[in-house]
């Protein structure tokens, strides 16, 4: 009988002394192999736990994640650049000014006070309503 067992991400993270977010990050960076299965059926095996503990041990010795990834992948990073055009992601705040009218504010920008936003919403509502009446 085999001692091999499967772990959910919560259990793997707990056994490895990290967060679920860290497990996902390590998979993304090529430090851990991708989980088996898809969707809610994804699971991790003993090889994932062994690798996670190895990464943790190397970190505790002061090695950077870059150096760990290089060492574990035999001298080169396994994560290749994505083919095709690069997609930029940005955190934004979406503010609904009026029906069908939204304002997107980049995450690095400070939002104006609520009173100013209310004035902007009223102005936009009035201007767009006039345009619809023409």
**Averaged over 90-105, what is the pLDDT?**
84
Q: How far apart are CA 79 and CA 30, in angstroms?
A: 6
Confidence band (pLDDT; 50, 70, 90) for 107? confident
With contact defined as beta carbons under 8 Å apart, do 65 and 31 qualify? Answer: yes
Global pTM value: 0.53
Confidence band (pLDDT; 50, 70, 90) for 5? confident
Q: Which residue has the tokens 């041990």?
A: 57
> At 128, is the secondary structure helix, strand, or coil?
helix
Number of other CB atoms surrounding residue 85 within 10 Å:
6
pLDDT digits (tens, 9 = 90+) for 32-48: 999 988 777 788 999 99
**Segment among 2-11, 24-33, 47-56, 125-134 with least mean pLDDT:** 125-134
With contact defined as beta carbons under 8 Å apart, do 51 and 27 qualify? Answer: no
Q: Using alpha carbons, select from 14, 16, 30, 130 the residue that is nearest to residue 71.
A: 30
Confidence band (pLDDT; 50, 70, 90) for 86? low
Q: How far apart are CA 35 and CA 31, in angstroms?
A: 12
Q: From the centroid of its chain, how far is CA 2?
A: 35
């Amino acid at each position: 009988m085999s001692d091999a067992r499967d772990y959910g991400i919560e259990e793997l993270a707990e056994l490895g002394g990290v967060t679920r977010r860290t497990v996902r990050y390590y998979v993304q960076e090529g430090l851990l192999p991708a989980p088996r299965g898809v969707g809610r059926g994804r699971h991790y095996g003993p090889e994932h736990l062994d690798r996670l503990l190895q990464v943790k041990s190397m970190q505790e010795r002061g090695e950077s994640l870059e150096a760990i990834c290089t060492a574990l992948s035999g001298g080169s990073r396994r994560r290749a650049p994505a083919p095709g055009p690069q997609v930029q992601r940005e955190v934004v705040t979406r503010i609904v000014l009026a029906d069908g009218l939204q304002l997107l504010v980049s995450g690095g920008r400070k939002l104006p006070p609520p009173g100013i936003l209310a004035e902007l919403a009223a102005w936009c509502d009035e201007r767009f309503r006039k345009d619809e009446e023409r």
